[in-house]
Amino acid sequence: MPRPLSKRCGAAAAPDAREAAAHARSPSPRPPPPAMAGRGRGRGRGQMTFNVEAVGIGKGDALPPPTLQPSPLFPPLEHRAAPLPGGEEGEYMLALKQELRGAMKNLPYFIKPGAPRRDIERYSDKYQISSPVDSAIDWNPDWRRLPRELKIRVRRLRKGRTTILIPKCKQRVALDKEETIKKLESLEKKEEEVTSEEEEEKEEEEEGKEEEEEEYDEEEHEEETDYIMSYFDNGEDFGADSDDNMDEAVY
């Protein structure tokens, strides 16, 4: 016969029997283990450690049902938010904010991740304007104010090259070619900036070859391509346009 348990745990069913059996094994009286504190669940309201009346839950009041799931992501709004203050100040700040966002995207401080490598190297890559070289730095920080370890080496252009280029520029009339020349020049500069201290040794050998090659290429480019750069279409966009209008068949 299980020992008579304390009144609190009186009439509950199976859990009591188990615990009563546990109690039966130990002869000495012991305070009920904490697991039994929730015994009254289901029978009358949950007993709390403090007097619930003080907080205002009177006897017999119905409590809200227990929450069985996390609160909803978008709970229904009971009160709508007040309208935003409009006015000149608000409009101006709004315009400022959007302009700032746009402007910062074009500053050299906005570091774009490197262009994704194409699967195969294509011939047109030489002529297309690719995104700026990953490790070049587009602006000139004051290196004296920064720790030395952050310095990205910038190699100086050989002075001879600038004098070669300028007379060439004057001969060409087409604006497009000048643009490509300038872009190629800036790309060159960036390619030369691409060293950090570790990579310097590797590239030193290639350096001599690269610069000669590029100088040579520069002149070759001007003579080889009789076609205007912007007209070149390598056909990649063909078929990539959205097929919204299925009226006409595509041949």
Partner 1 sequence: MTQAEIKLCSLLLQEHFGEIVEKIGTYLIRTGTQPLRMIVNETGLLLDQVKKALCVLIQHNLVTYQLQKRGFVEYEAQCKRVLRILRYPRYIYTAKTLYNDTGELIVEELLLNGKMTMSAVVRKVADRLTETMEDGKTMDYTDVSNTFVRLADTHFVQRCPLIPETPETPDAPPPPAPMLVINEKDMYVVPRLNLIGKGKRRRSCDEEENGEHKAKKQKQDGESSEPLPDDGIYWQVNIDRFHQHFRDQGIVSAVANRMDQTSSEIVRTMLRMSEVTTSSSAPYTQPLSSNEIFRSLPAGYNIVKQVLDQYLTLLADDPLEFVGKSGDSGGGMYTVNLHKALASLATATLESIVEERFGSRCARIFRLLLRKKHLEQKQVEDFAMIPAKEAKDMLYKMLSENVVSLQEIPKTPDHAPSRTFYLYTVNILSSARMLLHRCYKSVANLIERRQYETKENKRLLEKSQRVEAILASMQATGAEDAQLQEIEEMITVPERQQLENLKRNVNKIDASENQVDETIFVLESFIESTMKKP
Query: Nearest-CA neighbor of 153 among 172, 135, 179?
Result: 135
Residue 240 makes contact with partner 1 by CB under 8 A: no
142 binds partner 1 (CB under 8 A): yes
Give the DSSP letter string of 190-233. Answer: HHHH-B-HHHHHHHHHHHHHHHHHHHHHHHHHHHH--S-GGG--
Region from 9-17, 26-34, 36-44, 104-112 binding partner 1, contact rule CB under 8 A: 104-112
- Candidates 28-36, 99-107, 213-221, 222-230 — which segment interacts with partner 1 by CB under 8 A? 99-107
| Window 149 to 178, contacts with partner 1 (CB under 8 A) | 149-152, 162, 166, 169-170, 175, 178
The verdict on 73 binding partner 1 (CB under 8 A) reads no
Interaction between residue 69 and partner 1 (CB under 8 A): no
- Check residue 135 for interaction with partner 1 (CB under 8 A): yes
Half-sphere exposure of 42 (CA within 13 A, CB side): 7
> Residues 13, 84, 120, 246: which binds partner 1 (CB under 8 A)?
84
Please pick, from the candidates 29, 44, 113, 235, the single residue that binds partner 1 as defined by CB under 8 A. Answer: 113
- Residue from 25, 59, 79, 209 touching partner 1 (CB under 8 A): that is 79
Q: Which residue type sits at 107? A: L
Helices (H) and strands (E) in the chain, counts: 6, 0
What lies within 8 Å, CB to CB, of 109 at 6+ separation is 139
- Which tokens belong to 124? 């047109």
- In the complex with partner 1, the residue whose CB is nearer, 29 or 113, is 113
For binding to partner 1 (CB under 8 A), which residues are involved? 48-51, 54-57, 78-79, 81-82, 84-85, 89-90, 92-94, 96-98, 100-101, 103-104, 107, 109-113, 134-135, 137, 141-142, 144-152, 162, 166, 169-170, 175, 178, 194, 196, 198, 242
